[in-house]
Amino acid sequence: MSGRPPVFTPGGIFSVVEPISVRVASRADAEWLWSRFVGARIEESPLRVVVEPASQLERVLETIDRGLRQRTLSDAWVEPAQ
């Protein structure tokens, strides 16, 4: 561990050194979210966008919220990286 504190969220605890895994409902959702984060990657099966590092969690959550409110995203949720 890096000695930095973990990031706490309603769904659990994310270490600041682990990536953030965002499950999405469609390829279009994945591409929209991926385009907002430098260094993010799209992974298949399950379809998700992985953002590193977890210190960006607040920004990721805000982006998901904005995308859902604007109906740019159909569905997306954060889960621990696998």
CA 30, CA 1: separation in Å to the nearest integer? Answer: 29
| Under-70 pLDDT residues of the chain | 1-17, 81-82
- Those residues whose C-beta lies under 8 Å from the C-beta of residue 30, and which sit 6 or more positions away, are 24, 42, 47, 48, 49
CA atoms within 13 A on the CB side of 18: 16
- Tell me what pLDDT residue 53 has: 82
- Tell me what pLDDT residue 1 has: 36
- Tell me what pLDDT residue 73 has: 94
Q: For 31-52, what is each residue's pLDDT tens digit?
A: 999 999 989 999 998 999 999 8
Domain positions in the chain: 27-47+56-82
